[in-house]
Amino acid sequence: MPGQFEPMPGGGAAVALDEVEISIIRSLAVQLLELIGPGPGGEVSDDPLAELFAEGPSEPPADPVMKRLLPDAYGGPGGENGSAGDPDETRAYSAEFRRFTENDLRAKKRDDALVVIRCLDATTAAGDGGAVLKLSVEESRHWLGALNDLRLAIGTRLEVTDEEDADLLYRLPDTDPRKPMVMAYLWLGGLQETLVGTLLD
């Protein structure tokens, strides 16, 4: 079980993590929360109906990581990626779609990261040092979302755009300043892959 998720009887997943691994994942999840932000107005509204119809931004984020986490719905910059229509029209459709979906997408990503933090905190509170983290099926889905977001964020910072870029990361010398980020990227990928396997079993 060390370093990889395994299915638990009755559903869910378990993984053995040491103190350093718990600290790294928790720190990354906190940084992800800070990047995503607190949400519209920074606090929950007393009126759930107003929250339901709250409009989000229509422009894509300036930060490349957030742009990767919250991509345009139609085409890419300038209307590429298979969009044969007018680029201005494509941008208008993307802006309209973003206005009504970005807040919900951000909220989902916040929820995923919070579940990761709470699970890790509950695990460390129950024991000392390393521990076996046990997740329900629902928690596993949140973890999967958060692990995906963390890999996208790190991959964007490392300028990974395709498999060829990822292959180059394996060959970086230990003296390269990107090496710790690369190791985290690859490790999170292994966790993500084994977690997917538990949900498919």
- Higher pLDDT among residues 88 and 9, named by residue: 9
Domain count, the chain: 1
Range(s) of the domain holding residue 172: 6-38+104-200
Residue pLDDT, tens place only, 146-159? 999 999 999 999 98
Q: What is the structure's pLDDT at 172?
A: 86
| Both tokens assigned to 163 | 């498999």
Q: What is the pLDDT of residues 100-131, one digit of tens each?
A: 778 888 899 999 999 999 999 998 655 555 68
On whether residue 63 sits in a domain, the answer given is no
Share of the chain above pLDDT 90, in %: 43
Closest among 60, 50, 44 to 110, alpha carbons compared? 44
Beta strand 13-17 with 6-7: parallel, antiparallel or unpaired?
antiparallel
Give the pLDDT of residue 79. Answer: 40
CA distances from 101 to 14, 38, 40, 54, 113 (A): 33, 16, 12, 10, 19
Which of residues 199 and 55 earns the better pLDDT score?
A: 199
At 70, list the tokens.
Answer: 């919250």
Residue in the block written with tokens 């755009």:
161
Stated pTM of the model: 0.80
92 in any annotated domain: no
